[in-house]
Amino acid sequence: MNGLNDKTVAVTGAGAGIGRASALRFAEEGADVIVTDIAEDAGRETVELIEDDGGEALFLTVDITSQSDITAMVEEAVDSYGGLDMAHNNAAGAAGEMVPTAEVSEDDWDKELDITLKSTWRCMRHEIDAMLEQGGGAIVNTSSGAGLKGQRNVAPYSAGKHGVVGLTRTAALEYAEDGIRINAVCPGPVDTPGYSQMPDEMREKLKSNVPMRRLGDPEEMANAAVWLCSDDASYVTGMPLSVDGGIMAGR
């Protein structure tokens, strides 16, 4: 892909799943990668994988609910690599307890919205400031198919992911003239560690809802995120891109 060589990217939640696949893919395309995760061992393992393949990366422990951690992430990009060209805001919460909307506790609602939506905004505000100083950049936020359509019994998660899409579109309009492109990836069911822990019956049900009749691979989500940050997508901004095996085609 064009435009990633010698650029710097920060990837949150890069210790496993989509985040790890994204960090590895950015490194393959020549980017210097700031690998962040709340799980230190997993994040450092991602760095090792990148370095073993000849790439450049460093690890930071980042809790995305901590403003100071996010500030440190952006400052590290500037101090170590001279700026922040790209960001993949991937870390988020899980769907949590699956109950109808009226049965969601206020604590669960607040926790999910803080992790999924507010933390995406926390990351973006500092990333945008750094990109404004250097004259442009690209941001990709991880939303979900649940951010494009309703899903039963996951109200806080779905509301948060819908919010990520709205935030992405709004910021894309605000900063288009500044050369900052902001998009979202909306995965369908993906074969991540979380899905691998589900009962076989549930995994089969998820696959049966996908027109392609399979779960997605984390690498397929990473390919979309990297493409959106590349010069190959230079005229794309404000787009929630479904990578879901055809699920949204039937909506």
Active site residue 157: yes
Tokens matching residue 172? 């894309």
| Domain locations in the chain as residue ranges | 8-188+218-243
| Candidate from 77-81, 93-97, 180-184 with smallest mean pLDDT | 93-97
Tens of pLDDT, residues 160-192: 999 999 999 999 999 999 999 999 999 999 988
Q: Identify the CATH number of the domain defined by range 8-188+218-243.
A: 3.40.50.720
Question: pLDDT tens digits, residue range 132-143?
Answer: 999 999 999 999
Residue position matching structure tokens 């090792």: 48
- Given 81, 157, 175, 195, the catalytic residue: 157
Interatomic CA distance for residues 104 and 119, integer angstroms: 21
Return the beta strands (E) in 103-229 as ranges.
137-142, 180-187
Q: Model-level pTM greater than 0.85?
A: yes
